[in-house]
Amino acid sequence: MLENCEFNLQEVEFLGHNVSPQGIQMDPKKIEAVLTWQKPQNHKDVLRFLSFANYYGLLIPVYADITTPLTYLLQLKELFLWTPEADHAFTILKTHFTTKPILRYPDP
């Protein structure tokens, strides 16, 4: 079983984050995926993006206010119309996902 163990590592990947002595950072591969995320083209694309965004929602101030234009697009009664407000919200969320400060361990 020791072949499955690694000791004295400076950095460990865990649940999409890199844990190191400097703190916890989002995995660079995940950042690249978010930066290359295309604008949603239909209701399902918006729902997928918002489902991803909800994971990080607690870390983003006024998250509900930012996502309001995107949530409005989920109304199936309305024709899907990508608005400048929705584009702005999409861009702001992508920025928050990729530039959030590093989470740090408490320093007693």
Alpha helical stretches, state H, 1-108: 28-35, 43-56, 63-72, 84-99
Residue 1's pLDDT band (cuts 50, 70, 90)? low
Residue 85's pLDDT band (cuts 50, 70, 90)? very high
Between 66 and 12, name the one with better pLDDT.
66
Mean pLDDT of 60-65: 86
Nearest partner of 54 among 40, 39, 66, judged by Cα: 66
Across the beta sheet with 12-14, what order do the strands follow? Answer: 12-14, 17-20, 23-26
Q: Answer yes or no: are the C-beta atoms of 73 and 43 closer than 8 Å.
A: yes
Between 96 and 23, name the one with better pLDDT.
96
